[in-house]
Amino acid sequence: MTTYDVPSTYVGRPIDYRTLAGAISVFVGGYLVTAALTGQLALFLGGRMQVDIEVIVLLVSQAIFALAVVIVGLSLVRASVTARLIATVVLVAVVVIAVATQSARLNGNVGPASMPLSFTLANPYFMGALGVGAAWLIVRSARLGWLAILAAAILIPLPFAFAYAGIAGALTQTVLLALSGLILAGIVFAGRPLRE
Per-residue pLDDT reduced to its tens digit, 105-162: 877 766 656 667 777 888 899 999 999 999 999 999 888 889 999 999 999 999 888 8
Closest CA to 126 of 147, 165, 157, 166: 157
**Percent of the chain clearing pLDDT 70 (strictly above):** 86
pTM of the model: 0.84
Give the per-residue pLDDT at 144. 83
Cα–Cα distance, 62 to 77 (Å, whole number): 24
Provide the pLDDT confidence category of residue 195 given band limits of 50, 70 and 90.
Answer: low
Cα–Cα distance, 100 to 98 (Å, whole number): 6
Cα–Cα distance, 186 to 30 (Å, whole number): 13
Choose the weakest-confidence range: 2-6, 113-117, 148-152, 168-172. 2-6
**What letters, b where the CB count within 10 A reaches 16 and e where it falls short, cover 156-175?**
eebbeebeeeeeeeeebbee
**Rounded mean pLDDT, 186-194:** 84
**Rounded mean pLDDT, 53-79:** 92
Cα–Cα distance, 52 to 124 (Å, whole number): 24
Closest CA to 134 of 152, 120, 118: 152
DSSP H or E run through 82: helix 81-106
For the chain, give percent helix, strand, coil, nearest 5.
Answer: 75, 0, 25
Residues near 120 by Cβ (< 8 Å), separated by ≥ 6?
A: 126, 156
What CA–CA distances, in Å, run from 172 to 155, 165, 178? 12, 10, 10
Q: Are 88 and 71 in contact (CB under 8 A)?
A: yes
Query: Phi and psi (nearest 5°) for 4?
Result: -120, 140
Identify which has the larger pLDDT, 138 or 8: 138
